[in-house]
Amino acid sequence: GAVVSQHPSWVICKSGTSVKIECRSLDFQATTMFWYRQFPKQSLMLMATSNEGSKATYEQGVEKDKFLINHASLTLSTLTVTSAHPEDSSFYICSARDSSGRDTGELFFGEGSRLTVL
Amino acid sequence: AQSVTQLDSHVSVSEGTPVLLRCNYSSSYSPSLFWYVQHPNKGLQLLLKYTSAATLVKGINGFEAEFKKSETSFHLTKPSAHMSDAAEYFCVVSHSSGTYKYIFGTGTRLKVLA
């Protein structure tokens, strides 16, 4: 089945540093990927839609300069949290849509990345 | 506009008894509906999906859901709960036109009592 890999699973960083999270589709191509943020015991909140070869589309209220998204290839999207602060601590999850002829409308989710900013 | 409402934030059942997790949706389009399960600190796993085919959808691990257009509901059921079913469950609505953007419900935490 379709697999989405996220790395790292856990990251702890100091306030003011930047952290990059990778999302890879392992056995399919994905022109569109999505980044979500999940606070403890809450639902997933869509942050942005990542489009291969073009700028990401951010949801209202999400700072694009804070959360940099790059989708440079058909299998990789990255989320960089710049100048991280403790309030950025969260669980970040990516998902990808199979852009080949096998697309069923289903999104495939990564395992998530837990970011803790000290 | 689309939205999804999960009516119960927490559900507790005894092992071996039926599970019912409720979901109502609102959509201007013909929706696709999904149920996902999330175990602690993990990503989401698809349980089942409805995409305008049969209204009774069977998923993995014995779960099923019935799409009822007249009630705008897509409740998740399982005849007999297992301890391993304890997790967070999300109902999701999407539509096939546009960007396949998923709208998540607020989630239902299922607790299974021994």
Alpha carbon of B17: minimum distance to chain A alpha carbons (Å)? 25
The sign of the dihedral angle between the CA atoms of B31, A107, B59, A7 is negative
For residues A28 and A39, give the distance between their C-alpha atoms in angstroms, rounded to a whole number: 29
What percentage of chain A exceeds 90 in pLDDT? 69
Contact B43 A112 (CB under 8 A): yes
Q: In sequence order, what are the residues at sequence separation of 6 or more whose Cβ sits closer than 8 angstroms to the Cβ of residue B84?
A: none
Who's near A82: CB < 8 A, 6+ residues apart?
A18, A65, A66, A67, A68
pLDDT value at position A2? Answer: 80
Per-residue pLDDT at A101: 65
pLDDT at A90 over 80: yes
Q: Report the C-alpha gap between A57 and B100 in whole angstroms.
A: 13
Give the residue among A73, A92, A74 at the shortest CA–CA distance from A20: A92
Residue A47 has a CB neighbour count (10 Å cut-off) of 24
Q: How far is A18 from chain B (nearest CA, A)?
A: 22
| Residue B113 C-alpha, separation from nearest chain A C-alpha, in angstroms | 20
Q: How far is B45 from chain A (nearest CA, A)?
A: 7
Query: Which chain B residues are within 8 Å of A45, Cβ to Cβ?
Result: 104
Whether the CB-CB separation of B40 and B47 falls below 8 Å is answered with: no
Q: How many interchain CB pairs under 8 A, A with B?
A: 55
Q: Name the residue among B41, B44, B101 with its Cβ closest to that of A114.
A: B41
| pLDDT value at A19 more than 90 | yes
Residue A28's closest CA among A113, A106, A88? A106
- pLDDT, tens digit, for every residue of A29-66? 998 899 999 988 788 899 999 988 889 999 999 999 99
Q: Where are the beta strands (DSSP E) in A1-118?
A: 4-7, 10-13, 19-25, 32-38, 44-51, 57-58, 67-73, 76-81, 90-97, 107-109, 113-117
Contact B43 A97 (CB under 8 A): no
Residues in chain B, pLDDT under 70: 95-100
pLDDT band (50, 70, 90) for residue A100: confident
What backbone phi and psi angles, to 5 degrees, belong to A87? -70, -10
Nearest by CB to residue A43, choosing from B90, B94, B99, is B90
Q: Under an 8 A CB cutoff, do A105 and B45 touch?
A: no
Confidence of residue A84 (pLDDT cuts 50, 70, 90): very high
Tokens of B37: 């399960």
Chain B residues closer than 8 Å to A6 by CB: 43
Burial class (CB in 10 A: 0-12, 13-18, 19+), A67: buried
